[in-house]
Every structure is written in C-alpha cells, then in structure tokens.
Amino acid sequence: MLWVNYIENLDVLLRSMSVRIGDGELETDKAIALLVKQTMRVRENRRTVFLIGNGASASMASHVAADLAKNARLHTEVFSDLSLITAIANDMSYEEVFAEPLRRRMKEGDMLVAISSSGQSANVLRAVQEAKNIGGFVVTLSAMRPENTLRSRGHLNFYVPAGTYGIAETCHAAILHHWIDKMVVFVNKHEKEKNE
C-alpha cells in the first residue's frame, strides 16, 4: 500500500468511528466533550484514571497515563509491573491481571479506560465488569468486528472499523491523543480562571 493510500485509509476509519453510550449512538465531538467532562470531574474530585490493555494496547495505556499525569495533572495508574502481572496470572489466572488490582485500588468515582483492538480480551472484559461493580466510569476503545463484546460494555464506547491490529492501534492512539490535548486545554483554562 502506498503511503497516500495508508493515510487516506486512516482518515476514512477515523471519520467512520462510532461512539455508543447506553443503547444509542453519540456524535463524535459530543462524545469527546463528555469524556473530557467526566475526566475533569475525576480530576476535581482527586480520583484516579486507570488504563489497561494487552501488548501494544498496554504500551498505549502506559503512554497515555504518563501524558495525562504530566500534562493534565491527573492521577493515573496502569498495571504494567511484571511481578504483579505474573503473580496474579500464576496464582489466580491471566483473566484476573487487571480485575484483581482494580478490586484493591479502584474507588467509586474513578475512571477505567479499557483498550482492546479485538474487543474480546477476557482480562479486559473482566476488569470492565469489576470497574462497573465498584462504581467507576468505564470508557472503552475497540476495533475489528462491530459486534465485539467490549463495544457494549462501557459507559462510553469508542469503536473504529479497523480490520488489522496496526491500523486499530493507530486509530486508538489518535483518539487518545485528542483526549489528552483537549484535557490540557481545559486544565490550563481552569487553572488560569482559578488564579485570576
């Protein structure tokens, strides 16, 4: 595929993104605005944004957590410590590697951002259910099949119709960076108004 075709494909996929909230669809900019509003609520209440994913999505979760902490001054957490992951996987099951730490650390009013290109990762789905049980606000990012399980499990569900992992991950990175950029603008505006 030529570069121009690759970026045209990304453009089509990102424009085709759908966002589910409950049983309905939400226009993209309204969905991003809702995500920012919920995240500002988390920040103002000194709550935590947890981010999870496997493989490249785990790397993305870690990257986004760092950017949100540094640039939007949010408390964030990821479960990427190898000792923690292997202990839980060995002693319980790999399906519990995110849900078990959430049981111990997540509080009502926190946020979980769950990233899974396939939308079928058992450990991500288990964590989403646990976060909802605790009273957290759940945001999902998925791709591949439109009927993937994760797409209907969160409070706010971002889906791109990407058919490969690389394209899905690139689209998810764009969505997450847009969220970070919007958060930085809102936080800076909020801090400026507070200091005036």
C-alpha torsion angle, residues 108, 28, 23, 173 (rounded to 10):
-60
Domains by residue range for the chain, with CATH: 19-195 (3.40.50.10490)
pLDDT digit of tens for each residue in the chain (196 aa)?
Answer: 899 999 999 999 999 999 999 889 999 999 999 999 999 999 999 999 999 999 999 999 999 999 999 999 999 999 989 999 999 999 999 999 999 999 999 999 999 999 999 999 999 999 999 999 999 999 999 999 999 999 999 999 999 999 999 999 999 999 999 999 999 998 988 888 877 7
Closest CA to 149 of 173, 168, 121: 121
Distances (CA, A) of 126 to 79, 160, 190, 193: 14, 22, 35, 40
**pTM for this prediction:** 0.96
Token digits for 177? Answer: 């960076």
Backbone angles phi, psi at 112, to 5 degrees: -120, 130
